[in-house]
């Protein structure tokens, strides 16, 4: 069986190559904004070739990149009028040059080497490669992007065969929280790193300096770049932590039960919203799900109304419990940590749902 997999690499273009890449970003942005303007005016969307004829300077960049951007807008247009979607798409937005920039090329327009990648109209660019696609991989497309902190990346999409991990015969339940990031059903507690909280003081100082700079000045641009780099550092630290943890759990367990939390509703609590966003429970669940599909594992979501914290894991008694009560004391004599008890209830409920054939992730 073959799966789609993306390999993302840091790219190090030269000065001239940066100019060409930024020109491609700008042309794709102009084409997208032109399509949005016509779409809002209820007019027909022309092809990229027709739009390109109105701007002579668009001939300096890859025509395939413009065509892919046009195809992306047509896909949005198709999904916008798709009545079968669970959630309707909102209005299309114009792209800004101050946000993340990207464009895409098909598989015939790039070549991946040992330490470089060759892009159409750009040439040979140096990349930092820590892993390579398999020799039998089929190259589909490449996405060139630039973050708000000025770093360039390439994401190579391939279709390659995968192999399921050997079975371990073990099932795990995970209860996420704020005091500890996660509590496992075997009693293990994963510490909450709180990356944003650690960098909050430095970020506050940088944002205060940014607010004092004159708009449009060079110093304001430098301060804005520093703030973006601090945010990027926090994001990279968080993703690295979640990737390492999710990979270890997928490798050690066949079936994993997690809570289907209403994170969007929990973020309305103004006292806990920042801590909940810093924990990134939804991102952790998505990492577990797609890695489970790659490895032949099973991730089962447990309903958000399941009383995992209010039910005794031994006798099944359900009773209210205060948030500051960290130990579960039951009438049957069961004395256990509150989060460990919840994790075991999630594990048992996931096993029950899997036995009944309930749809899982």
Active-site annotation, residues = 175, 259, 339
| CA–CA separation, 231 and 243 (whole Å) | 18
| CA–CA separation, 258 and 115 (whole Å) | 39
Find out whether 69 and 28 touch, Cβ atoms under 8 Å: yes
115 token code pair: 């330490």
3-state class of 269 per DSSP? coil
- DSSP alpha helices (H): ranges in the chain? 15-40, 48-53, 63-80, 195-212, 218-252, 263-266, 273-279, 281-295, 338-356
DSSP 53: H
Find out whether 268 and 137 touch, Cβ atoms under 8 Å: no
Find out whether 287 and 299 touch, Cβ atoms under 8 Å: no
Closest Cα partner for 306 from 344, 260, 337, 263?
A: 260
| CA–CA separation, 250 and 165 (whole Å) | 9
Closest Cα partner for 353 from 283, 301, 296, 282?
A: 301
DSSP 113: -
| CA–CA separation, 234 and 197 (whole Å) | 9
DSSP 166: P
| CA–CA separation, 10 and 316 (whole Å) | 52
3-state SS of 199-254 is HHHHHHHHHHHHHHCCCCCHHHHHHHHHHHHHHHHHHHHHHHHHHHHHHHHHHHCC
């Amino acid at each position: 069986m073959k799966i789609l997999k993306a390999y993302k690499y840091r790219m190090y273009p030269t000065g001239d190559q940066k100019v060409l890449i930024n020109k491609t970003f700008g042309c794709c942005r102009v084409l997208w904004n032109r399509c949005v303007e016509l779409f809002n005016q209820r007019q027909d969307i022309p092809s990229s070739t027709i739009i390109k004829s109105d701007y002579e300077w668009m001939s300096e960049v890859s025509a395939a990149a413009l065509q892919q951007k046009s195809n992306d807008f047509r896909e949005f247009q198709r999904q916008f009028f798709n009545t079968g979607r669970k959630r309707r798409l909102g209005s299309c937005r114009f792209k800004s040059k101050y946000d993340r920039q990207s464009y895409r090329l098909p598989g015939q327009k790039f070549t991946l080497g040992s330490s470089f990648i060759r892009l159409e109209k750009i040439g040979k660019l140096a990349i930092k490669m820590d892993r390579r696609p398999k020799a039998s991989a089929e190259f589909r497309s490449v996405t060139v992007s630039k973050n708000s902190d000025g770093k360039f990346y390439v994401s190579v999409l391939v279709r390659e065969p995968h192999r399921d991990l050997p079975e371990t015969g073990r099932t795990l339940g995970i209860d996420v929280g704020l005091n500890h990031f996660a509590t496992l059903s075997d009693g293990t507690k994963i510490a909450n790193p709180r990356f944003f909280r650690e960098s909050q003081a430095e970020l506050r100082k940088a944002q205060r300096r940014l607010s004092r700079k004159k708009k449009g000045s060079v110093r304001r641009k430098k301060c804005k770049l520093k703030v973006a780099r601090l945010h990027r550092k926090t994001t990279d630290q968080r993703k690295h932590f979640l990737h390492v943890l999710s990979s270890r759990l997928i490798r050690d367990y066949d079936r994993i039960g997690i809570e289907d939390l209403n994170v969007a509703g929990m973020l309305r609590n103004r006292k806990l919203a920042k801590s909940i966003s810093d924990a990134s429970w939804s991102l952790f669940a998505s990492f577990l799900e797609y890695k489970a599909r790659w490895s032949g594992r099973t991730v089962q979501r447990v309903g958000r109304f399941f009383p995992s914290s209010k039910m005794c894991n031994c006798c099944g008694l359900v009773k209210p419990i205060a948030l500051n009560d960290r130990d579960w004391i039951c009438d049957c004599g069961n004395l256990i940590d509150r989060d460990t008890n919840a994790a075991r209830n999630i594990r048992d409920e996931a096993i029950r749902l899997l036995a009944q054939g309930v749809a899982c992730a």
